[in-house]
Amino acid sequence: MRRVENGVEILDQPTPAADRAASLADVARLNAWFGGHALTLRAVARALRYLPPDRPARILDAGAGGAALFA
């Protein structure tokens, strides 16, 4: 697979609703196939172990497609 540098992500620009929905469906399908959510949640859980139990943590889900990771 050829690497694309300086490419424009379809979701980073104004996009027709149908194209946006199709792109987000692709992201969801790839996350299901490759375990994207599980891998990320496991890494977050590992990082949170270093915080004292009484200290709150905030997680920003930025640039994550439909923001379904922590929903």
> pLDDT truncated to tens, each residue of the chain (71 aa)?
688 788 877 778 898 999 989 988 888 888 888 887 788 888 889 999 999 989 998 887 766 666 666 65
pLDDT in the model for residue 54: 92
**How far apart (Å, rounded) are the C-alpha atoms in residues 68 and 37?**
9
Token look-up 């104004």 returns 14
pLDDT in the model for residue 67: 63
Do 27 and 65 form a contact (C-beta atoms < 8 A)? yes
**How far apart (Å, rounded) are the C-alpha atoms in residues 56 and 48?**
10
pLDDT in the model for residue 17: 92
Do 46 and 38 form a contact (C-beta atoms < 8 A)? no
The SS3 of residue 11 is helix
pLDDT in the model for residue 9: 77
